[in-house]
Every structure is written in C-alpha cells, then in structure tokens.
C-alpha cells in the first residue's frame, strides 16, 4: 500500500479521500499547511510519503506556500522538481492550478472529485515517471 498525505481544511473532504483510497493507500491527514509541514518533516525520519494530495485554499499556510516550502526542502537534499514527492492539487479553483505547476506540482484534480479520475492520476504519478 502507498502512504499518502491528504491536506485539506475540510474534514469531510479528508474523510472522502480516505474512503476513496482505502484499497490503495494508507492516508495520513493534515488540516492545514502548518500541520502538513510537521507531518512531512516527521516522515523524513521514518517512511516518507509516496504522494501528497494538497488543497490550495486553506487558512494559515495555504497549499501553494506548502508546495513552495516542500520543493525548497527537497532541493536542499539535492532532489529537484520531477524527482521529489509527487504532489497532486485537489481544488475547486482551477485558476490557481497554473501557479501550482510553477511551484512544482505534478497534477491536479478538481472538486467535486471523481474517484476513478483521482485514483488514475495517483497511479500515473506513482507508477509512471518515478523509479
């Protein structure tokens, strides 16, 4: 099973994603970017996340700022965009997805989510280009 971090400020969205992925992944959850940074940092000393599903619009550290900090941290370890932890934005705001790609996201899924689309994009990210 994959280990996925689900970052979304709405508890219902987090639970929905966990339910969609229950046959494919263990999902850890974070309610905002601050919590996600803490969980990501903890995962570095244990089993790293295989993928991050990230909402854009959240209070505090939003998804774009989290993504920027994630990619900067990876660069410090010599891991560059395209080789780091895959990030799929899960958002209602398509117009912000362009900014997310500029910060190093791999893909996006618009809310409301279609389970087959979400699972397909996760499989593509995890089974496709990263070895």
pLDDT at residue number 96:
76
C-alpha distances (whole Å) from 114 to each of 24, 42, 73, 87, 119 are: 16, 30, 31, 18, 9
8 Å CB contact between 58 and 32: yes
pLDDT at residue number 77:
85
Q: What is the pTM of this model?
A: 0.93
Average pLDDT over all residues of the chain = 91
8 Å CB contact between 29 and 14: yes
Domain boundaries, the chain: 2-125
- pLDDT, mean of residues 75-95: 87
Q: Over 60: is that where the pLDDT of 129 sits?
A: no
Q: Over 60: is that where the pLDDT of 95 sits?
A: yes
Fold of domain 2-125: Rossmann fold (3.40.50)
């Amino acid at each position: 099973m994959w280990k996925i971090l689900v970052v979304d400020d709405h508890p219902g969205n987090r639970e929905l994603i966990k339910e969609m992925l229950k046959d494919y992944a263990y999902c850890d959850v974070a309610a905002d970017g601050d919590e996600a940074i803490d969980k990501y940092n903890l995962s570095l000393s244990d089993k790293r996340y295989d993928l991050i599903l990230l909402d854009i619009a959240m209070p505090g550290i939003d998804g774009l700022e989290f993504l920027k900090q994630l990619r900067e941290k990876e660069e410090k370890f010599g891991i560059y965009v395209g080789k780091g932890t895959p990030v799929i934005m899960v958002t209602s705001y398509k117009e912000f997805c362009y900014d997310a790609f500029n910060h190093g996201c791999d893909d996006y899924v618009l809310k409301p989510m279609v389970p087959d689309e979400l699972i397909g994009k996760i499989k593509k990210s995890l089974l496709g280009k990263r070895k």
